[in-house]
Structure 1
């Protein structure tokens, strides 16, 4: 966390140092030109961020229409928001960082590095390995997995810790939760007029 704070404080410091060097080396006339350059790069950058944002939204909509999660597009959206913030901040260093985040040629490697070194390790730490696919997630337990089925009843009961899933010979099911709730949808609808 301290590293991020240091990096965020370093960027304005570099902008101020660069501005001081330009003013002392080239004089006041070039300083005015530099201010105009910063304003121009901010305007051009915002137009670029706007166009890339629209393109990213279209890509996100296509991914969702195909049933795919728009993970890369969401990361692109976050990077474009950061690019807009950097481009609105006056300074040559912040404008350079903003353009690096806005242009797709440089944004894609930044997105890949962010995903690999920040997002996946954080998600793995929070979910116990789910983000990198190290956890069994779907289907019934079978041989070779850590959870084995308990003793079978009519259709089969599978031990899921405090919850149990029973499959009867008929086309019905019962889910028993650890807090003594059951999910029998047909019985509850007959008794509860609000459930219809």
Structure 2
């Protein structure tokens, strides 16, 4: 019987819920949870990004705040739906939050039709969003995507980070990286990065 490997990295995930009548208190409670998790010795604290729900609507903003309340723990997202985002602007926001945290961000992404699109899609997008490419291809067309060999959901973030701060990139691509690569998911598969190794793609197309 082979010996089991010990757990080397332990993180927790929270939705960051808050009551309708006092969202500030709920967000403060979640920030305190991140602080408490760090004191307990957890390696990572992850937040969900949700829309039209009682939780964190902007993971980048929340993690920028969490980065100022913690000093060691890794800060992750599981996940940011790419569909509602501008890849370039999201790259800038995550890059800024990563630098402010001292390089501790572990962003995760999901591709495909975002939640509640049938309800708010016509208000969010210009034109008929049903004909838009909301797959990884949307990210691969960003600078350094496609032919560069970068992980598809990371391409724009890598580009913006290198442009904004070449001495402190937020993440690296999936080839020869030496930092944690984020999680990215499709409807039926997820690849999650772990310290000291590089995650591969999780694609079903």
> TM-score, structure 2 length as denominator?
0.23
Structure with more of its chain in strand, by fraction: 2
> TM-score, structure 1 length as denominator?
0.24
Which structure is larger by alpha-carbon Rg, 1 or 2? Answer: 1
